[in-house]
Homo-oligomer: A and B are copies of this chain.
């Protein structure tokens, strides 16, 4: 689990709950119909905005925001360097028996193509295409969350307008004004909270994750092509280390 996402949402909710509870009227803040118009309205607008299949598929993407992301680049580079040594000693076919140890699907399918003798251009086209579709799918996920983050406050305001208009129409009994306005404002509260603690930040996290994941996939593509071309392990190491920040690089004598 990605601790930051969890901590962020839970601590944000905790702070808001604490503020609500310390006011001594927590019950008014739990209002199912208000939640329905904000969440339902934002979801309805998002359904109109995006193809049905993508809205349904967004749950698969949102897991990315909660999944832990270990930075595996250094391990990947080690793997590529080892594969390069094997290739130089025993030829590219020897990689076949290493494939079962490779956990990353993208890397393994790339190496399988290399072992099968597919031309480098074809491998690159196929891998880049897959990467582009991944990025595209991630981008859709971000857009759906950005949409929810825009429509939720809008439906919060629509709910508040409904509440205000209803209350103003019935102004005969002034004692109800306060409660009426309080209830009317609940939808604006829900809309702002959902947008600013959940939807917009998750859209941001999805973007950050997607950027990182496609950096890693670019590294893998570069590595697979270098293996196929039978490059020297030291060159592969130097090339791939350029994909990771200087501080994260292991001490490498080739660098100086």
Contacts and interface: CB of A to CB of B under 8 A. Distances in A.
Interface residues of A, number: 96
Contacts of A7: 44, 47, 52
Chain A interface, DSSP helix/strand/loop, else mixed: helix
Contacts of A155: 196
B161 A197 contact: no
B151 A196 contact: yes
Contact of A23 (B16, B50, B162, B197): B162
A4 B12 CA distance: 33
A24 B166 CA distance: 8
Given A205-B49, A246-B133, A22 B33 contact: yes
Contacts of A245: 133, 137
A41 B15 contact: yes
A206 to B, nearest CB: 10
